[in-house]
């Protein structure tokens, strides 16, 4: 089927192949909503992306971020977000994963309170993944989703998790849909199609259209989302406040504007999430040229590191002060089936992570694998008992300063093993991403774009930082990295197979980690290859 078989609004062109079933998603009315939102908000999106570039230049020149003076009255005022609906009051364990059909069914059936269906970091956003993901959402919302695979039948249980959907971030385009000759925003495309097809059905089922918003860097970007929500609700005849959204605080700049972000979305807010892996990447990216900045091996940077601890506690205090849910981030560890001893170490890591979040006062936390839901749930129930959340835990004892958020430790050790690990993970993940899989178990961790970003950005920064020195005294250099890449590529192929995508991934990793310029997101150049 080609575009000529579906009707598009004036000025819209679809270059992606229209396969069987795609027309049920790409309906004239749904595409009209995409077009209207795009034409209304695209100029503001571009302005905000330009603000990001300007801010990055200021940070590269040595400026350090701080809490905004102009929004101090908002932080000082007494206000709350609108009450969250009943379906979002209990989110002790949330499972996340891409919108692939089998994973969707398993996540809904996992026993988690909530499921974040991901069109973003754990999903390669090729055309087929985005459209089949929308089909899977339509079927799941109507509880008709099923799958026959390898002699097994998959279908939804009677009791399933509450659905939240993560569209792409503001920085990503959908290159297969042009409006007035320009690419449409991937965020608006994902959001509008889901809303058009599912919002009213969700309301009829006693829930509603709930979202996760990724990669925000400012309250002005949250304001843009809020305005998109307002217009969409008007267009679809929905009451204002129907949409609820949880914002991932996964950039260092957003950490300085948490209260303002909640304020901008307060009629539509469902709280904040501590998106830890992207947050670490953001810190590396924003301070990549700072001579005093350098982080140790990726494995050494944990939630107990000073800057991560400060960020987590500030998010918790901010949310509960404003009557908002505070959701902890992802424990990337996954079950290890063939090694009981390593599995117990991994499971203890998850227990420790969730116990810390629950004890601190978080209302829930993320897992990446159904096998972790029961374990994580047990840790939250130990603290919460039968309570659905801890909104009443105010944490007035927490006082986090700008200096605390910028206390980047540990700086050491940086090891050859850690350098090799980053190269290995980068090649393996990028190679899988290019074949359409954005959620990959590597070395007993569930890797997505966020964790891969840490690996490639650390290598780039270690090469350039005077502090990028291995514990044996050798300076990390571009030549050192180039020499290690073939060795790590061979190891990846032993585990993952000899797909050409891994050789290409090694080339991309070398280019991105050794080039003079720093790519803002690895997914931007990768997207042009799929």
* Residue of 166, 168, 276, 456 marked active site: 166
Is residue 448 part of the annotated active site? The answer reads: yes
3-state SS record for 456-517: HHHHHHHHHCCCCECCCCCECCHHHHHHHHHHHHHHHHHHHCCCHHHHHHHHHHHHHHHCCC
Nearest residue to 244 via CA among 200, 206, 213, 282: 213
Alpha carbon distance, N-terminus to C-terminus of the chain: 20
Question: In the Cβ-directed half-sphere of 294, how many Cα atoms lie within 13 Å?
Answer: 20
- From the CB of residue 233, how many other CB atoms can be counted at a distance below 10 Å? 19
* C-alpha 131: how far from chain center: 19
- Set 121, 297, 363, 448: catalytic member: 448
Give the C-alpha separation, 506 to 456, whole Å.
11
Structure tokens at 452: 């891969």
Angstrom CA distances, 112 to 121, 317, 374, 391, stand at: 20, 24, 8, 20
**Active-site residue, 166 included:** yes
**φ/ψ (deg, to 5) at 319:** -60, -50
Name beta bridge partners: 96.
116
Q: Which residue has the tokens 């992570």?
A: 353
Residues classed as catalytic: 166, 448
């Amino acid at each position: 089927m080609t575009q000529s078989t579906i009707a598009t609004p004036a000025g819209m062109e679809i270059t992606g192949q229209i396969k069987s079933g795609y027309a049920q998603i790409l309906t004239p009315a749904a595409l009209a909503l995409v077009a209207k939102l795009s034409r209304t908000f695209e100029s503001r999106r571009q302005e905000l992306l330009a603000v990001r570039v300007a801010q990055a230049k200021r940070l590269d020149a040595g400026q350090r971020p701080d809490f905004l003076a102009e929004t101090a009255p908002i932080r000082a005022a007494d206000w709350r977000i609108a009450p969250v609906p009943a379906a979002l009051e209990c989110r002790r364990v949330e499972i996340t994963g891409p919108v692939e059909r089998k994973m969707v069914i398993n996540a809904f059936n996992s026993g988690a309170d909530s499921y974040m269906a991901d069109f973003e970091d754990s999903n390669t956003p090729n055309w087929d993944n985005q459209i089949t993901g929308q089909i899977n959402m339509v079927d799941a919302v109507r509880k008709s989703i099923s799958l026959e695979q390898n002699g097994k039948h998959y279908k939804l249980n009677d009791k399933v998790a509450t659905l939240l959907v993560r569209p792409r971030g503001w920085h990503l385009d959908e290159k297969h849909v042009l409006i007035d000759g320009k690419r449409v925003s991937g965020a608006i495309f994902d959001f509008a199609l889901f809303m058009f097809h599912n919002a009213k059905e969700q309301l009829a089922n006693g829930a509603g259209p709930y979202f996760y918003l990724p990669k925000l860097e400012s309250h002005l970007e949250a304001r843009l989302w809020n305005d998109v929500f307002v217009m969409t609700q008007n267009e679809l005849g929905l009451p204002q406040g129907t949409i609820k959204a949880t914002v991932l605080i996964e950039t260092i700049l957003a950490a300085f504007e948490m209260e303002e972000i909640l304020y901008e979305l307060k009629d539509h807010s469902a709280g904040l999430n501590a998106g830890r892996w992207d947050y670490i990447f953001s810190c590396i990216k924003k301070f990549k040229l700072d001579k005093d900045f350098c982080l140790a091996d990726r494995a050494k940077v944990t939630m107990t590191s000073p800057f991560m601890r400060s960020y987590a506690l500030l998010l918790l205090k901010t949310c509960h002060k404003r009557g908002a849910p505070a959701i902890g981030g992802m424990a990337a560890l996954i079950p290890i089936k063939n090694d009981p001893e390593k599995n117990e170490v991994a499971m203890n890591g998850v227990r420790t992570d969730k116990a810390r979040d629950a004890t601190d006062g978080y209302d829930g936390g993320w897992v990446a694998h159904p096998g972790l839901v029961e374990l994580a749930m047990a840790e939250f129930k130990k603290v919460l008992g039968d309570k659905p959340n801890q909104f009443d835990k105010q944490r007035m004892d927490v006082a986090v300063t700008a200096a605390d958020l910028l206390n980047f430790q540990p700086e050491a050790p940086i090891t050859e093993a850690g350098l090799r690990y980053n190269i290995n993970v980068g090649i393996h993940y990028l190679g899988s991403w290019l074949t359409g899989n954005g959620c990959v178990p590597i070395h007993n961790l569930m890797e997505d774009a966020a964790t891969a970003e840490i690996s490639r950005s650390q290598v780039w920064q270690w090469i350039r930082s005077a502090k990028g020195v291995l514990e044996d005294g050798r300076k990390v250099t571009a030549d050192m990295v180039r020499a290690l890449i073939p060795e790590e590529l061979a190891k990846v192929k032993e585990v993952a197979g000899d797909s050409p995508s891994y050789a290409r991934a090694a080339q991309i990793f070398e280019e991105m980690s050794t080039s003079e310029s720093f790519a803002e997101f690895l997914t931007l150049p990768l997207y042009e290859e799929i």
